[in-house]
Structure 1
């Protein structure tokens, strides 16, 4: 692709020879020079390039094999790289090795340097809080489960915060729970990560209170029918995930209409709509004994007809009716015993 490119050939054990070399492509090679390939025991490819963005002349990069080619190319940065030329890296253990460089401080032109990679340090932290009020939840239980068998538990303080140190090359599940709230799970992994990282921001836990019905805002039905529309799938699959994460709860699906039909019609329509949600959940593996349904018609409107009548535009009035048309679920119990599979 340019000056010097890196190629890969595979050994054919059956015919006892090497296959045809294949260019590693534009993820690795550039219009300039890529040289000194080295594959560590981890399977990661190390090489030097003066065509990829770097600190000086030749910089050392790493790449990970993905689907038969190398990608996720990263500059090793300082102190592994310098303003000079850095190349010829090799490891003699997982964390120690050698490289060649003409950086300042050497004895001649190209010197051999030894290095030790400090262990990467990982952590995850966040805040547990009420989804609606945004207030921190003190005393919430945050548990950590690792693919290595790790199982830890901490309680949040007054600020709702938690923090865990993580191990390298490990997958984790983190859960947050508190009485009167739905339990929530998040996942974090350090697999394939070489650089230290604090996992923050995306690892807060907004918990939903079960003290009142919880709305499912993206449930849609065909006009005047109980048929679920395709765009409802994401919301329903999210509810299935909630039920999986809270295996002891039982719930009631509740459907509501606006007031623009007879009471009898709206009760019937909302009953059929609530049942269609239950049918979807059962079809997708939720135990029917955890579910019930009820249609409330127009008996529990959020916006009254008088309030809607005072609105000045048709758009405002329609938005008022839309607030009344909704699907929710209420948690009825927390002591369901899942059946053995």
Structure 2
């Protein structure tokens, strides 16, 4: 066979790095290699392929013998499918005000899943049993959406990490109230790396019912998975996934990426590196006069406050986002491919702009 030809051209600088999002990073070479291995020939579509079948074994090695994975296209899709699985048409989900499902999914849980989000303010992005109780009432009141699930994010949108004991206490409390627990694990690998525990320690072992497992932020091209941890309590997942437009026809190319991350330790290597780069960045930034680190840096995110004008100038040199522009709060994210040189160059630029 002749080598493939294409008119595509590289249209970016492959050495360019930013601190705006771990989604900016490319695909890890080991994941690209896995995609190439899965290519060629014919495989049954819609998840009946050998790669998706084998992924179940890999998932169970991390999340227990009853875990079942349902690959989907993206994180919002994973969250919407998972939350639908836990709620009736009159149901509601309790979550933090900062939760991604509330702030960054364009109303998809409400619009697509038809549920209501009951939010709770929390300074560090983490829920507690006491905070859940602020919204966990009116279960039999037909005038109020019924609280049926709690959704937490690990690690949180503010970069903080729940301990396994914190999640266990939260799950026990929710279950006593008749609710189930969903964990948004867009950065679950970073949380496990920060805690230095297996992912099962704060998911199935802690009582979580269903999980959105993230791959894209940790080196995948695309694709996440809904992982059902308590199958008896979450029926008809195949139908929910299709109904929500998250069933990939060529699913082998999603499944093989998750296998590449999870079969050995690539997921952990990538997460540990990203976390280490964030720690390096936070340590350096904290030494710059006028820069305040806002939250404990426990994973791969750094939240800081600095003068608005300095932040705007710095953005022209290294991309990142404001978190709260009025307050001057910014978020700096590190990824699996962030280097020490990238961090050090950013710190030099930060010092220069703060000195102006």
Instruction: Considering Cα pairs closer than 8 Å and 6+ residues apart, tell me whether 1 or 2 has the greater RCO.
Output: 2
More helix by share: 2
Name the TM-score, length of structure 1 as normaliser: 0.21
